[in-house]
Amino acid sequence: MNPNSVEVLLVEDNINDAELTIRELRKHHMANNLFHVKDGEEALDFIFGTGKFADSRDLLCKPKVVLLDIQMPKVNGIEVLQKVKSDARTRATPVVILTSSKEDPDIQKCYDLGANSYIVKPVNFESFAEAIKNLGFYWLLLNQQPT
């Protein structure tokens, strides 16, 4: 896949969760331009065109939404969020926190850092599926992106 045509960047270390998320999005035909990275470091490399993606990424081509998990090895979601939202080039990119944590401090911190949305991954699959569907519809189809 062309890194520059990514619409959805899924940052998720749990492969099961990743699989389930991708499956649902695919169900609704929203996974065509989905790129999955497994940790924060990769995510940052992708977003800022560094490391692995040093050559291949054009920063002007921004994904439509970043689905970001918090608990990740190496660089966790909070850091990624912070970096994304503090850089002028990437600030406008919508970041949806998709995580298991219902803890208030996390929620608060993410919003403080500029997260656009905070979704708790429900254990119940139906709800999960519903959540993903809504996410997809909203951010990929409904939401107007800045150019």
Which of 125, 137 has the CB closer to other proteins?
125
**Binding residues vs other proteins (CB under 8 A):** 14, 16-17, 19-20, 23, 70-71, 99-103, 121-126, 128-129
State the minimum distance, in angstroms, from the CB of residue 67 to other proteins: 15
Report d(CA 121, CA 138) in Å as an integer.
17
Question: For residues 100 and 117, which CB has a smaller minimum distance to other proteins in the complex?
Answer: 100
Cβ closest to other proteins, residue 33 vs residue 100: 100
CB of residue 35 vs other proteins: minimum separation in angstroms?
A: 21
Q: Work out how close the CB of 85 gets to other proteins at its nearest, in angstroms, rounded to a whole number.
A: 22
Q: What angle do CA 119, 141, 53 make, to 5 degrees?
A: 75
Complex with other proteins: residue 71 or 117, whichever CB lies closer: 71
User: Which residues partner with 120 through β-bridges?
Assistant: 99
